[in-house]
Structure 1
Amino acid sequence: MSTHARVPRCLAILPFRGSRAVNEGLLTRPMLRGPTWVRLLPDVYVHRDAYRADDHRMWCDAVGLRLPPDAALAGRSAAHLFGADLLARNAPVTALLPTAVRLRPHPRLRVIRSPLPERDRIRFAGLPVTTPLRTAFDLGRSAPRAEALVAVDALLRRRVVTLPALRTYAAAHPGWPGAPLLGEVLALAEPLSESPMETRLRLLLLDAGLGPLTAQHEVRAGGRFLARVDLAWPALRLAVEYDGDQHRERARFRRDVARLNALRAAGWIVLRFTADDVLRRPEATVTLVRQALAERRPALPRP
């Protein structure tokens, strides 16, 4: 990254408080108004070479500089810092503030008011953040239901929180807004789910009454590992998988062909679906899976 020779090294990468830089003699007010610096929030600036409009971490750093002592980054912003990327492009930073605390509104800031005891706050990546447990608790009780489940599955997948710990935390906080929704989410949560779209596909099938099904099932033939499939009815040797854009890469496509041939040779049927199938054609997707289940059940030998 190129920076002007007069730019202090400590201000070249991360957002900073303009007033502090001026007080420490690093910059002057006229310099802050020049083209070298981008104003992110009141009194918060970043060097123009470090500015990325869609860099959520940059915006988290900026908001962190403005947070009152008893506040914390929360929700999807906290999940993002923990490695669970649930954010839409240009998503605002979520900050959780106690009821009496105020923070100036901004388009890149979303404020939530809620009790926030000290035990629910930590310092993570240099920022005040709700704990993974509190983050999962908050996201799991925030409608819509599918997005709540996606968020909880993502945090479980990152192993920053466990399902038993989250259930214990929820039981200790009865009566909070969204508690009934959280109960549903915890009953459906799956730590083995590997992507948000896989979670949505699984929820679609469960809501259609096509469960129970097994996530990330290992298929073996003669004791030899063949493949791990996203969702399966092992007794029926039927699998359902979500195919993201990475499956279109040539090397991945070739591996997928060999893998599907091996599964078919072992007597498995694999149905593959894309985002369009899950989000835009859910009825057709459910119908196809239901038909496959009906076809496989009579074919099974009776014990």
Structure 2
Amino acid sequence: MSRAASVPNQLSFLPFSGSRAVAAGLISRRMLTGPAWCRLLPDVYVHAAAFDPDDHRMWCDAVALKLPAGAAVCGLSAAYLWGVDLLPRRSPVHVVLPRTGRIRRHPRIAVTNSTLAVDDAVLLNAVPVTTEVRTAFDLGRTLPRSDAVAAVDALLHRRLLRTEALARYLDSHPRWPGGRQLRELVGLVEPLAESPMESRLRLLLHDAGLPRPVPQHKVADPQGRFIGRVDLAYPQWRIALEYEGDHHRGRATFRRDVHRYNALRAAGWLVLRFTADHVLRRSGQVVQDVRQAIDERRTQP
């Protein structure tokens, strides 16, 4: 039998309610038990060809079919649907339910019961999702501090919201759990941050009492010719701080980096390069290196 005859177009790609599909005459209950279909949740199936256990969007679509009225995808899952992927592998779908709302427990669903106003959620490709500002509000309150900065930075970087809008939302929701953390972070977040690790590096410097660096600073040579853009900079001392992610290991990127670093040095810039290991496990050394560089440059004529 051909694919077209065995798999209705309506069921080819997205998760669906098995009972509704049977009621609509699209498939039989017996067919759902066959190898052509994968059961994701109770009464929720997807065609085997569309199944990917690591596809968080698929799981969001599936969970949306089980949400009660007034509920929405939230937190890191909402950020993912808005285009900001900070999820660990095989993360459950984070959902917020009204305080009296209930949903059947499942390893793929992480539930928070909270107040959710009507205008705190929107439909995004048929999935109820917390708005951009509510998503930032929740992540900034509930995540560990460095993760919260990285998440809000990423939402701001994608121009999904402005810092002022988040501050106004926070002011209109006083005394919510985690509000004190978010209020501090509103003054620290940076729309120009281009990676979570860059955000963590900036927060590390702040917590050590070091001056706030300039993000994504454009450097020119003495003749005014553009050399390159550095992740973080102290222009007054010509110090550049670079986060080296895995993408810098490619041959072409490595060659461009060598040329850029040589040009920066020729223009009188000191470049400090850090990896995730430095930021996460050798933070004291990072602070020491940056402080020493600033002290040395301050004393130079």
Normalising to structure 1: TM-score of the pair? 0.96
Distance between the aligned counterparts of 2:152 and 2:145, measured in 1? Answer: 11
Q: Which runs of 5+ in 2 are unaligned?
A: none
Look up the equivalent residue of 1:239 and give its one-letter code. A
Query: 1:258 — aligned with what?
Result: 259
Query: 2:101 — aligned with what?
Result: 101
Look up the equivalent residue of 1:247 and give its one-letter code. H
Distance between the aligned counterparts of 2:246 and 2:8, measured in 1? Answer: 42
What per-residue deviation string (whole Å, max 9, x for no partner) do you get for residues 75-94 of structure 1? Answer: 00010011111100011000
What per-residue deviation string (whole Å, max 9, x for no partner) do you get for residues 232-273 of structure 1? Answer: 111000011101111011111111111111111110011111
Residue 51 in 1 paired to residue 51 in 2?
Answer: yes
Distance between the aligned counterparts of 2:5 and 2:206, measured in 1? Answer: 60
Cα offset, 1:223, TM superposition: 2.5
Cα offset, 1:217, TM superposition: 1.0
Q: Secondary structure of the residue that 1:102 maps to in structure 2?
A: coil
Cα offset, 1:121, TM superposition: 0.9
Distance between the aligned counterparts of 1:147 and 1:258, measured in 2? Answer: 33
Distance between the aligned counterparts of 1:196 and 1:36, measured in 2? Answer: 39
Residue 294 in 1 paired to residue 273 in 2?
Answer: no
Residue 77 in 1 paired to residue 77 in 2?
Answer: yes
- Please, which moves more after superposition, 95-104 or 205-214? 205-214
Contact 2:238 2:269 in 1 (8 A): yes
Query: 2:192 — aligned with what?
Result: 192
Contact 2:202 2:212 in 1 (8 A): no
Distance between the aligned counterparts of 1:174 and 1:225, measured in 2? Answer: 46
What per-residue deviation string (whole Å, max 9, x for no partner) do you get for residues 185-227 of structure 1? Answer: 1111011100001001111111111122111111122322211
Q: Secondary structure of the residue that 1:141 maps to in structure 2?
A: helix
Contact 1:215 1:231 in 2 (8 A): yes
In angstroms, what is the RMSD of aligned CA positions? 1.2
Query: 2:179 — aligned with what?
Result: 179
Contact 2:22 2:29 in 1 (8 A): yes
Normalising to structure 2: TM-score of the pair? 0.97
Q: Secondary structure of the residue that 1:95 maps to in structure 2?
A: strand
Evaluate the alpha carbon distance shift between residue 3 and residue 92 of structure 1 in structure 2; reply closer, same or farther with a 3 A threshold: farther
Q: Which runs of 5+ in 1 are unaligned?
A: none
Q: Secondary structure of the residue that 1:188 maps to in structure 2?
A: coil
Query: 1:162 — aligned with what?
Result: 162
Residue 63 in 1 paired to residue 56 in 2?
Answer: no
Contact 1:143 1:181 in 2 (8 A): no
Contact 2:245 2:276 in 1 (8 A): yes
Query: 2:204 — aligned with what?
Result: 204
Contact 1:22 1:28 in 2 (8 A): yes
Distance between the aligned counterparts of 1:218 and 1:171, measured in 2? Answer: 35
Query: 2:231 — aligned with what?
Result: 230
Query: 1:218 — aligned with what?
Result: 218
Look up the equivalent residue of 1:267 and give its one-letter code. G
Distance between the aligned counterparts of 1:241 and 1:205, measured in 2? Answer: 13
Cα offset, 1:3, TM superposition: 4.8
Look up the equivalent residue of 2:211 and give its one-letter code. G
Distance between the aligned counterparts of 2:143 and 2:47, measured in 1? Answer: 37
